[in-house]
Structure 1
């Protein structure tokens, strides 16, 4: 389906103490939505050496992708055409070169040393066609001699400003473009490298087994980022005809809100330990800890407004235990803490007055605090085997509370923009049940997850009454403790059966069910939620001896229409497919029935 082509070739061999592996894959499809062609090419080479006390290896990965990820569209538009997109193109090109080395040395019967190191070179370019809010300048405010069809940009901070071409300094007029659309481009180049070294001891404590690990890690990254907006005209197909002129504010360009160029240096150091003590064959206790230090330095290459130095430090403890009740049942529990330092994209996109485009855009912003998580988890798990039957199960409950959680708040003014904000405390309280088993040639599995993901602080987030009628006259959405976090289903279920009709013939059927979700932009839970969904997937394969295997996979077997994401936003572009105005509910449609058939050769 959708002109999808996927091919993989792999080769592996071993010669004395050396091992070699090489693999490559190619994926290409036209996509089921308009203008959603994508292609992925990957190649991996790995060389390993194992002899005596030494185990070492070196691997190299190269990947190149061109992805068109057309996002959410108005509900009214999808009711007419499920494959329609709101604006296009929405293209991301990535190229990755990743080298990793590994070394393990057995120092003694009880001590070992392990080390890994890596270098990653990543380049990313994005191109997005979006609506743009330029308009004819107020003639009364135009300087004498300026063309009357000159374009201006407006903001509540600067008022009306003339727009010029960054490349030439010339005024941009409606003779070049209407200014209602833009081709937004970003370019990211990241060089990252790091290493981890750890020692492991299996020496017992008296008559008790003990497993002790000490380690240190360092991760460094140098990132250069740039963005600009090419002024254009929105077409009837909701694409953009570019003018070749890059927007800038007269008297300020290129150091303005339409242009970004910066460098970021990131350093993260970690020191950690873990010790598992076995009181006996059934009872095991683990104590762990990790100290994290992160520094993010941002340098504005066009001015000074983005400059910043940010430092985050924390020690995160952990404790857990397992008790084997009998040969088939174990009880476990743990408490852990963690921290996440804001990345440069979040630190530099935290101003509600200047929302940024996803995934990266940068403005001068207030600082963000690191998010700190505290988690409790406990449960039981077991396994039983009897003749031709096997059964495995686990039941777990957990509670994670995050202080100063970092939330991306969607801008109510323009879809695809927003800003990052510390959103007080949030909580995830849940239960997970996993079951699986075999009866002869029949295998089955099932899993159920319940998660109550909620805000736990009183918040006032920016809103717009034209998008969310619960917003106040001052443009705020009131959030109270217990309101659900957007985008997270409360219930999820997955189950399947696998039948081997013979040594050659294999068939499986899988069901996936998820409950409703809150729209992004409805953090106060005042609007109707996005509906849940359920789909069936089918897979079958037949092996002709060792060399050849044929397979077929059909996703969304019943061709259900469903959505996986929802956001509230103002639709300012007229939709020729829809009669009347469209509402603020944008959704991401799930793919229709998709058929993939192929073959696999083994030599």
Structure 2
């Protein structure tokens, strides 16, 4: 809300150095205050076109600007949303500050593959959810590059598939909406440091903006460093009837999110981790081109096109989930060509085989090896269940000090997406009433290449895993796929009265 107040003439004359006689009193010298209502305009579709006043949008919308985010002094976008917007929570299931699960009204947008996602995220009118699993990598979207946000509540078909609980629309900075220069440097405990530098400007026709941000920390736990570099830039053009903006966003992050530790371990040292490492590396390139053009005073064309490529590599060291029978005793002779202490799969087929031979599972730890398995020592039938590696060799060890008691879960994802959206807006009266009609189309294409594998290895005294080059083919997965979506949409808002709008 803006406020303007009249100033007594005597004060003005004193400041200017003129005698009071030169100022005439028009009879309105007493203080008056004029209040002008703030009008928030919201884009009701992903494309940032004309928009509607916020009170005419048939949804609960929460908004914020870059100034709001700066005042909050938060680390990332999700932290701001959590602290300042309603019905929002975040949790750190990935144990890294840049990899939170963002929850809004019970629906989630998360970087964790396999977690049910129910929120759509758009950046400059482009769908930001990944093609594979609809995941959202918050670490690749720096808060320092954001100009404004709108959080829509409820299912909304205008924002595409899987918009079950709401949609988050983000608009980034350019040389026209964020001119000026800024440098921000801060640090804190556990080696945390953030450096952000930006510069923007325009000459009325052409504009530029660039932002570089680096985040680093050692983490409050052992072997938990993280590093994130984000580079954002935009080139803009403006004329009397048209706008054009090209943006580029690059991200390169290495984030550590070690899992929970047992209480017994934490009693010894609160900084210890149970197993390590647990690293996610992202490399992303994201380009958008968006523009608007007024055909007449009441008709506007708007649209965008985009290309994005993201590579994700994850490496997670864990305790082994395979059956290790070394505590029961030697099962094969060292000269038999079979490992003395072989590894077995932790599945129902293996334990059913043991049950058929009168060997039951441990009641307290049903996934562990029963001591009675030594009754089958040297058995060929038992040898048929021993795990084999990618070369067909039996997996196991001959010395207890060389126990294979850990695994590395390794995965790689490469995702490419491209497409565009176009819309036309008519702001002409209908039946003598103010009316806005928007119609548009959208096309999105996604390409996915995913693979994962399990490496059997050792757990060091530091509880970090080693590399062995021994992989289990049965636990490897790989897929290549593509997704294509076409959609059409329209929205009509008819003002029945000054305070009542009918929307279809």
Select which of 269, 280, 284 maps to 2:486.
269
In structure 1, the gaps of 5 or more residues are: 249-253, 288-603
Contact between 1:133 and 1:179, CA under 8 Å: does it hold in 2?
Answer: no
User: What does 1:508-527 align with in structure 2 at a 5 Å threshold?
Assistant: none
Contact between 1:182 and 1:242, CA under 8 Å: does it hold in 2?
Answer: no
Change in Cα spacing, 1:64 to 1:104, as seen in structure 2 (3 Å) is: same
1:165 corresponding residue in structure 2: 389
Select which of 156, 174, 186 maps to 2:397.
174
Structure number with the bigger relative contact order (C-alpha 8 A, sep ≥ 6) is: 2
Question: TM-score scaled by structure 1?
Answer: 0.43
1:422 corresponding residue in structure 2: none
User: What does 1:101-120 align with in structure 2 at a 5 Å threshold?
Assistant: 101-120=289-308
User: What does 1:88-237 align with in structure 2 at a 5 Å threshold?
Assistant: 88-134=276-322, 135-136=324-325, 139=331, 145-157=337-349, 161-166=385-390, 168-175=391-398, 177-237=402-462
- The DSSP-based 3-state class of the residue aligned with 1:73 is coil
In 2, Cα distance between the equivalents of 1:164 and 1:80?
38
In 2, Cα distance between the equivalents of 1:121 and 1:7?
25
In 1, Cα distance between the equivalents of 2:489 and 2:502?
17
- The DSSP-based 3-state class of the residue aligned with 1:241 is coil
In 2, Cα distance between the equivalents of 1:175 and 1:119?
53
User: What does 1:420-459 align with in structure 2 at a 5 Å threshold?
Assistant: none
Larger-Rg structure? 2
Contact between 1:13 and 1:19, CA under 8 Å: does it hold in 2?
Answer: yes
Superposed CA offset, 1:428-486 (max 9, x none): xxxxxxxxxxxxxxxxxxxxxxxxxxxxxxxxxxxxxxxxxxxxxxxxxxxxxxxxxxx
Q: What is the alpha-carbon root mean square deviation over aligned residues? A: 2.5
Superposed displacement of residue 74, structure 1: 3.1
Matched, 1:240 2:471: no
Find runs of 4+ consecutive structure 1 residues off by over 6 angstroms: 140-144
Superposed CA offset, 1:239-298 (max 9, x none): 22232222x2xxxxx3x2x111111211222222211111111111222xxxxxxxxxxx
Superposed displacement of residue 47, structure 1: 0.5
1:14 corresponding residue in structure 2: 202
Superposed displacement of residue 146, structure 1: 2.9
Change in Cα spacing, 1:146 to 1:9, as seen in structure 2 (3 Å) is: same
Superposed CA offset, 1:55-94 (max 9, x none): 1111111110000012333344445533332221110000
Change in Cα spacing, 1:140 to 1:169, as seen in structure 2 (3 Å) is: closer
Contact between 1:56 and 1:103, CA under 8 Å: does it hold in 2?
Answer: yes
Change in Cα spacing, 1:199 to 1:157, as seen in structure 2 (3 Å) is: farther
1:73 corresponding residue in structure 2: 261
Superposed displacement of residue 237, structure 1: 2.8
In 1, Cα distance between the equivalents of 2:252 and 2:476?
27
Superposed CA offset, 1:7-47 (max 9, x none): 11111121341111111111111111121100000111100
- The DSSP-based 3-state class of the residue aligned with 1:2 is helix
Select which of 218, 222, 233 maps to 1:34.
222
In 1, Cα distance between the equivalents of 2:337 and 2:252?
50
Contact between 2:332 and 2:339, CA under 8 Å: does it hold in 1?
Answer: no
- The DSSP-based 3-state class of the residue aligned with 1:154 is coil
In 1, Cα distance between the equivalents of 2:268 and 2:430?
70
Superposed CA offset, 1:326-361 (max 9, x none): xxxxxxxxxxxxxxxxxxxxxxxxxxxxxxxxxxxx
In 2, Cα distance between the equivalents of 1:269 and 1:156?
44
Superposed displacement of residue 126, structure 1: 0.5
Change in Cα spacing, 1:76 to 1:15, as seen in structure 2 (3 Å) is: same
Contact between 2:439 and 2:491, CA under 8 Å: does it hold in 1?
Answer: yes
Matched, 1:281 2:498: yes
Superposed displacement of residue 140, structure 1: 8.2
Superposed displacement of residue 112, structure 1: 0.8
Change in Cα spacing, 1:143 to 1:235, as seen in structure 2 (3 Å) is: closer
- The DSSP-based 3-state class of the residue aligned with 1:245 is coil
- The DSSP-based 3-state class of the residue aligned with 1:208 is coil
Matched, 1:56 2:279: no
Contact between 1:223 and 1:263, CA under 8 Å: does it hold in 2?
Answer: yes
Change in Cα spacing, 1:98 to 1:109, as seen in structure 2 (3 Å) is: same
In 2, Cα distance between the equivalents of 1:85 and 1:146?
35
- The DSSP-based 3-state class of the residue aligned with 2:447 is strand
The structure with the greater share of residues assigned to helix is 2
Contact between 2:332 and 2:338, CA under 8 Å: does it hold in 1?
Answer: no
Indicate the larger mover: 86-95 or 261-270: 261-270
1:4 corresponding residue in structure 2: 192
Change in Cα spacing, 1:22 to 1:169, as seen in structure 2 (3 Å) is: same
Superposed CA offset, 1:349-393 (max 9, x none): xxxxxxxxxxxxxxxxxxxxxxxxxxxxxxxxxxxxxxxxxxxxx
- The DSSP-based 3-state class of the residue aligned with 2:270 is coil
Question: TM-score scaled by structure 2?
Answer: 0.52
In 2, Cα distance between the equivalents of 1:66 and 1:207?
59
- The DSSP-based 3-state class of the residue aligned with 1:162 is coil
User: What does 1:489-500 align with in structure 2 at a 5 Å threshold?
Assistant: none
Contact between 1:66 and 1:93, CA under 8 Å: does it hold in 2?
Answer: yes
Question: How many pairs align?
Answer: 278
Contact between 1:125 and 1:186, CA under 8 Å: does it hold in 2?
Answer: yes
Contact between 2:256 and 2:277, CA under 8 Å: does it hold in 1?
Answer: yes
Matched, 1:82 2:270: yes
In 2, Cα distance between the equivalents of 1:263 and 1:178?
36
In 2, Cα distance between the equivalents of 1:43 and 1:243?
37
In 2, Cα distance between the equivalents of 1:142 and 1:284?
83
